[in-house]
Amino acid sequence: DGGITQSPKYLFRKEGQNVTLSCEQNLNHDAMYWYRQDPGQGLRLIYYSQIVNDFQKGDIAEGYSVSREKKESFPLTVTSAQKNPTAFYLCASSLADFQSYNEQFFGPGTRLTVL
């Protein structure tokens, strides 16, 4: 059963703690993305990776960090430096689209609440 998994679905953390959200895909996609979704603001790109061991900042990278050590995995760490971390986080993947434009496949998301 191919797809993207994100865990956990709901996550609660105390203010000041770092937290890592997992994202795994078995679609054999080279590109992976992390988005943040807030009401009324659509999806905003945090980080993306076109290939293993390489990643680029998106529009709102401050307070976040990522790694891409394996093709299948793209974990996102929300650090204590992120001022408003409570949000719905979506991971996506796609074929590497250097020559064409490919659709993105999304995981079910993780809803992070910082208390």
Partner 1 sequence: GQQVMQIPQYQHVQEGEDFTTYCNSSTTLSNIQWYKQRPGGHPVFLIQLVKSGEVKKQKRLTFQFGEAKKNSSLHITATQTTDVGTYFCAGRITGGGNKLTFGTGTQLKVEL
Q: Which stretch binds partner 1 (CB under 8 A): 17-25, 52-60, 64-72, 79-87?
A: 52-60
Determine if 75 is a binding residue for partner 1 (CB under 8 A). Answer: no
- CA distance from start to end of the chain: 35
By C-beta, is 17 or 108 nearer to partner 1? Answer: 108
Closest CA to 23 of 78, 84, 63: 78
Q: In whole angstroms, what is the distance from residue 61 CA to residue 4 CA?
A: 22
Strand partners, 95: none
Determine if 27 is a binding residue for partner 1 (CB under 8 A). Answer: no
Determine if 44 is a binding residue for partner 1 (CB under 8 A). Answer: yes
Q: Which of 1, 10, 15, 42 binds partner 1 (CB under 8 A)?
A: 42
Q: In whole angstroms, what is the distance from residue 104 CA to residue 18 CA?
A: 28
Closest CA to 3 of 109, 80, 114: 109
Q: Which of 1, 15, 54, 103 binds partner 1 (CB under 8 A)?
A: 103
Cβ-contact 90, 104 below 8 angstroms = no
Determine if 34 is a binding residue for partner 1 (CB under 8 A). Answer: no
By C-beta, is 101 or 115 nearer to partner 1? Answer: 101
Q: What residues line the site for partner 1 (CB under 8 A)? A: 31, 33, 35, 40-45, 48, 50, 56, 58-59, 90, 92, 97-98, 101, 103-109
